Amino acid sequence: MKPRRTVAARILASFAVTLLAFAITAGYSALSLKRTADDSDELAKGYVPVALKIGQLRAVQSTLAALVDGIPDEKNPLSMRVVLETLSSVRRVTLDESRAAMTNLRSVGDDATKRLALDLIGELDAVQASFASDRGSIDRLFSDLDAGDRDAVNRELLQLGAMEHDGEKRLRVLTEHVDRAMVDLSSATRARERRAILQLALLAALTLAVGIGVAVHTRRILGPLERVTERAQAVARGDLTPKPVTESDDEIGQLAAAFERMVSAVGRAQSRAVANERLAAIGKMAAHVTHEIRNPLSSIGLNIELLEEELGASNVAAEAKALLGSITREVQRLEHLSEEYLRVARLPQPRMEADDLASAIREIVAFAKPEMERAGLEIALEIGVVVPPALFDEGQIRQALLNVLRNAREAMPDGGRVDVSVNAEGMSVVARVEDRGSGIPDDVRSRIFDPFFSTKGEGTGLGLAITRQIVEAHGGSISCEPRDGGGTSFRILLPISSARH
């Protein structure tokens, strides 16, 4: 199954978040620097030239006003006229330069500065309009001076002086307007710089936090890989015990789950290999031992029968007959044990045939039912609606299922109910045998299929080992699980037959 989120994608996303945070911080820094540079450019290239030109204009205007006030006391009117006309010309040039500087202010400032520049140009135009009649007034003033008309001179001086002083006031107001705008711009720039520094510090801290978070997140993502490595080293040292896996939807989680499944499969395979080796060794030993003891046992049994016939024809003590009966039972038990060991040694390869497993199990249950009822047990059979044919050797499956039913009977000495069911599951047919006994502890359940392992005081411990050998020889599997509500459930799985079978 393809992981919903790959490790590469998650790590890439983590670094993308880090880069995004860094890009935001760097972008904001660049934006703040650009804004500061724009403010400095606006101040240096816009406001400063305007302030300088207006300052020059005010200086010229102040000189003109002072000269006009001193005309009545002037001894050389001709030189005064030359100075006034020269200063008037300088004022016109300075007015034009001031207007050009204000026009340039519109091109370097923002929208607020552009509106301010328009206001300044309007005020400057009003000042310039007030100087429109200064040349005529100067001409009339000096004409009156040449004519000696003191009354006309006084009227022209009053008019000219009022115009010059009014212009001086207007220029002072204009200067104050520019100075106030420069102060406001400087204050706004300083406030913006302080905010920018604070915001940059916060963004830097946030970027650092994001970087630390991404590092921790990446470490957490790659942590399971380290655990898988440690687990692989433990498996290499021989630890084949399956460990729980933390669920994850990425490749590492799937790798850990697959690795534990592999370890579990290797453990089962190793356990089965050991069991098979033990069974093979048992088979060889059983074949040899059985060969050596069966003939003596047969001879002993025959002689006991002859003795019983002799003793039956004579009057001997009942105690002697009881002793012969005990010897007979022990010989029979030895014969039974030798037959069971020989069964392990001579277990043939199954002769696989496609047949109805449900019908075979129905017959096996009917065969075992009287024995179960004598032990106070009820046996219930449930068969699925559709059970496809399976490949099996009827004789061997009969032996395997009877072993499991015998195990269920011994698990419930006080009676009870045994459930047997047959159903189709995927490409397999599954037979279940469930008892309602006291259950099997986990540490015991893992060993019940081992040869010679038995929880009972008697028996060889080969029944379930043979059962597993039979089922696995059929290409199937057998498992033992706790039953819901108490007891034990044995699950035998056999593959269904193909169409050609």
Q: For 265-278, what is the mean pLDDT? A: 67
pLDDT at 179 over 70: yes
Local confidence band at 422 (pLDDT 50, 70, 90 cut-offs): very high
User: Confidence class of residue 274 from pLDDT cuts 50, 70 and 90?
Assistant: low
Q: Is 101 exposed, middle or buried (0-12, 13-18, 19+ CB in 10 A)?
A: buried
Residue pLDDT, tens place only, 140-156: 777 777 777 777 767 77
Is there a contact between 168 and 190 (Cβ–Cβ < 8 Å)?
A: no
pLDDT over 60 (residue 1): no
Mean pLDDT across the chain: 77
pLDDT of 206 strictly over 70: yes
On the 0-12 / 13-18 / 19+ scale of CB atoms within 10 A, 246 is exposed
342 falls in which pLDDT band (50, 70, 90)? Answer: low
How much of the chain, in percent, has pLDDT values that exceed 90? 2
Q: Which residues touch 251 (CB under 8 Å, ≥6 apart)?
A: 3, 6, 7
Tell how strand 416-425 and strand 390-392 pair up: unpaired
Packing angle of the helix pair 134-147, 77-108 (nearest 10 deg): 170
pLDDT digits over 8-27, tens only?
A: 666 677 677 777 777 777 77
Q: What is the pTM of this model?
A: 0.44
Taking the C-alpha atoms of residue 231 and residue 245, their distance in angstroms, rounded to an integer, is: 11
What mean pLDDT is predicted for residues 271-289? 64
